[in-house]
Amino acid sequence: MRLITCENYDEMSKIAAYMVAGQIVLKPNCVLGFATGSTPEGMYAELANMHKSSYLDFAEVKTFNLDEYYPIDRANDQSYYYFMNHHLFSKVNLKPENVNLPNGAAKDAAAECVAYDKKIEDCGGIDLQILGIGNNGHIAFNEPGEELTAGTSMVTLTDDTIKANSRFFASEADVPKHALSSGMATIMKARQIIIMISGKNKNTPLKKLLSGKITCSVPATMLNMHPNVTIIADKDAING
């Protein structure tokens, strides 16, 4: 596990974007795994600027996002599809058929989850997965507990996660209580993983990730079993 220390959020975003860009340059038809939330916003802005300057071509790239609220329509301005389209998809030349997120409006959530994992496999697996980390150590919507789910599944969000995400909604009551989320095995199958960690409130989960101990109570610690993980963290997250 490699740790890259950055002075601030902007530097973290740039370094992450350079690493994603490098993957695209080396393998133009690569499969990228993306995350939502405030942490990767700066990285998406950097990638959009790289494309705008004609440096980066997304024409052959395929993308899969970690998760989506459930139930929610992709046209809803709080959906993760809307988020990704606003921050990246609409700003680069990704083909619509190459953009994938779990369908938050699927009538059969279980079938949608199985189909989503199969589609990732059919595309050859994810070359580079971007992750963030929750205050409680969750990645995607894999929340702390006695056990973790291997494949993509519908999960019930914890009160802490609902509270943390309420800043994006009119009120906490409006936050969906469920999500379709990539499981730990789905994430761990990625050939390379980058986890971006920013802010003083992420110091505790970062320390637990770096402790070398693995526990379901901090799902991100499972990344210690992956052979190719890079942590990109700013000094606020590292120093607390």
CATH number of the structural domain spanning residue 113: 3.40.50.1360
3-state DSSP assignment of residue 154 = strand
Catalytically annotated residue among 68, 143, 234, 236: 143
Here the tokens at position 134 are 């929750």
Find the catalytic residue in 65, 138, 234, 236.
Answer: 138
Catalytic residue among 46, 51, 65, 67: 67
Instruction: Check if 172 is active-site.
Output: no
Tokens (6 digits) for 104: 């938050």
Query: How many domains are contained in the chain?
Result: 1
Dig out the tokens for 171 from the structure. Answer: 């009120």
Q: Is 203 a catalytic residue?
A: no
Q: Is 159 among the residues known to form the active site?
A: no
Q: List phi, psi (to 5°) of 169.
A: -115, 170
Domain that holds residue 232: 2-239
| Chain segment 37-91, per-residue pLDDT in tens | 999 999 999 999 999 998 899 999 999 999 999 999 999 999 999 999 999 999 9
pLDDT of residue 164: 82
The letter for the amino acid at 52 is K
What mean pLDDT is reported for the chain? 96
Q: List CB contacts of 76: < 8 A, sequence separation 6 or more.
A: 82
pLDDT of residue 160: 81
Residues paired with residue 32 on neighbouring β-strands, in sequence order: 63, 128
pLDDT value for 88:
98
The pTM of this model reads: 0.95
Q: Which parts of the chain register pLDDT below 50?
A: none
Catalytic residue among 136, 165, 234, 236, which?
A: 136
The confidence score (pLDDT) of residue 227 equals 97
67 in catalytic set: yes
Contact 151, 113 (CB under 8 A): yes
